[in-house]
Amino acid sequence: MAVTISDVAHAAGVSKGAVSYALNNQPGVSDATRGRILQVAKELGWKPSLRAKGLSSAKAYALGLVVARDPKLLGTDPFFPAFIAGIETTLAEHDYTLVLSVATAPGAEERAYRKLADGGRVDGVILTDVRHNDSRIGLLRELKLPAVTLNRPDSDSPFPAVSMDDTDGITAAVEHLLALGHVRIGHVGGAQEYIHGRSRRRAWEAAMAAAGLAADLFAEADFTAPGGVAATAELLRRPDRPTAIVYANDLMATSGQSFAQSQGLSVPGDLSITGYDNAEFTQYLNPPLTTIATDPMRWGRVAAQALLDQLNGTHSGEDTDLQAPSLLVRASTGPAPSTTTKPAP
């Protein structure tokens, strides 16, 4: 904090204002003086104080992200690290930083948003894990905090969304299983409170309907490993038990697969399984998991850019659609058991 704008101004024989203009590439100084000022600034090793800059320009130069997941779940989900890395990619070019808040305890989430908004710690936030009728969009409105949402909320939202449709991935998974001769294809869904929990379920239903099949083998879970076990157990207990299960995420697929095997079922001999996310460990499972690969890093990059554009006033106001995820076929899916799907003679 040694050298300030005044020092530079003195040394260059100009006013503070001139230095400010020179620094920010704004008109108001001749190229000659601008060059001289920049030169002097460099010699003196001047680093403009973010705090002073923020105070006068009423900006925080920071974006906020509040993550409200159980740390356990967080630790296994490959989404956030990659997503955050993507955000950083964008911020690295923009003199902005990321303020991260992990809200574990109930009620901590709203407090976290207030904390970010109150003192003006961030200029905007990225909203992830959007929920059905998400109360946070009202909150952000109240706090007058600009935002971008990941996928479009199902309630009215004034914020631009950056979306990656789950439909195609799930559809591809179901079609892959149909092609393998499966007819009784179940779905272990994530918490239906989340819109991505809902959309994945709907995509499964639609794909089944398109094949003229009933979408009745559904069990709701919560994206956690124990939840996956319980839901799998429920489906396998049914008389018309499925020969294939499409899971809403990798963690549930992993624990579901493990459970099925512990019950003496062979995967994929008796039961085919698909996940969602392409967590790295899934390729080391036994058998390796067929799953759906998304691109969270790109999602983060684009979402951060959208938010910056919005703050900057250069955002079109329209939603952004990212490329849909794609199916990754591995060994956890195979032909339907012949006892159940008798080929035509």
**Which residues within the stretch 120-139 sit at the binding site for its own copies (CB under 8 A)?**
120-121
- Bridge pairing between strands 185-189 and 161-163: unpaired
**In Å, how far are 64, 106, 110 from 114, measured between CA atoms?**
11, 15, 6
Q: Enumerate residues 30-89 that contact DNA by CB under 7 A.
A: 30, 32-33, 46-49, 51-53, 55-58
Closest CB to its own copies among residues 48, 335? 48
Report the C-alpha gap between 298 and 85 in whole angstroms: 9
Q: Which does 143 bind (CB under 5 to 8 A by kind): its own copies, DNA, none?
A: none
3-state class (DSSP) for residue 60: coil
Q: Which string of DSSP letters, residue by residue, matches 255-323?
A: HHHHHHHHTT--TTTT-EEE-SB--GGGGGSSSPPBEEE--HHHHHHHHHHHHHHHHHT---SS-EEPP
Helical (H) or strand (E) element with 181: none
**H-state helical runs in 96-223:** 108-118, 135-143, 167-179, 195-210
CB 59 within 8 A of CB 123: yes
Instruction: Specify the residue for token string 């691109």.
Output: 295
Pick the binder of DNA from 10, 25, 28, 252 (CB under 7 A): 28
Q: Is 115 an interacting residue with respect to DNA (CB under 7 A)? A: no
Contacted by 342, from DNA, its own copies, none: CB < 5 to 8 Å by type: none
Of the candidates 180, 219, 183, the residue with the CA atom closest to the CA atom of residue 201: 219
The answer to whether residue 249 forms part of the interface with its own copies (CB under 8 A) is no
| 21 is a contact residue toward DNA (CB under 7 A) | yes
* Token pair 């819109």: residue: 195
**Closer to DNA by Cβ: residue 31 or 318:** 31
Considering only residues 219 to 248 of the shown chain, the ones binding its own copies according to CB under 8 A are: 225
How many other C-beta atoms can be found within 10 angstroms of the C-beta atom of residue 322?
A: 18
Confirm or reject binding of residue 108 to its own copies (CB under 8 A): yes
CA count, 13 A, side-chain hemisphere, 227: 17
Cβ at position 8, least distance to DNA in Å: 7
User: If binding is defined by CB under 8 A, does position 53 make contact with its own copies?
Assistant: yes
Q: Distance between CA 17 and CA 107 in Å, rounded?
A: 46
Nearest distance from residue 93's CB to its own copies, in Å?
11
Binding flag, residue 265, its own copies (CB under 8 A): no
Residue 344 interacting entry, from its own copies, DNA, none, C-beta within 5 to 8 Å by type? none
Which CB atom, from 37 or from 84, has the smaller least distance to DNA? 37
Q: Does 29 interact with DNA (rule: CB under 7 A)?
A: yes
Binding partner at 163 among DNA, its own copies, none, C-beta below 5 to 8 Å by kind: none
Contacts (CB under 8 A) with its own copies, residues 59-98: 60-62, 71-72, 74-82, 84-85, 88-89, 92, 97-98
**Among residues 41, 285, 292, 328, which is the contact residue for its own copies, using CB under 8 A?**
285
Q: Locate all alpha helices (DSSP H) within 222-295, ordered by sequence.
A: 225-237, 250-262
| 312: contact with DNA by CB under 7 A | no
Residue pair 231/254 in contact (Cβ under 8 Å)? The answer is no
Residues in binding contact with DNA, number by CB under 7 A: 33
Q: Which does 324 bind (CB under 5 to 8 A by kind): its own copies, DNA, none?
A: none
Nearest to 200 by CA among 249, 156, 252, 162: 249
Distance of CA 174 to the CA centre of its chain: 23
Between CA 11 and CA 65 the distance in angstroms is: 41
**CA dist., res. 82 & res. 295, Å (int):** 8
H or E stretch covering 279: none
Query: Measured from the CB of residue 29, what is the shortest distance to its own copies in angstroms?
Result: 22
Given the rule CB under 7 A, which residues bind DNA?
Answer: 1, 4-6, 13-21, 23-24, 26-30, 32-33, 46-49, 51-53, 55-58
Given the rule CB under 8 A, which residues bind its own copies?
Answer: 1, 47-55, 58, 60-62, 71-72, 74-82, 84-85, 88-89, 92, 97-104, 108, 111, 115-116, 118-121, 225, 251, 254-255, 257-258, 261, 279-281, 283-286, 288, 297
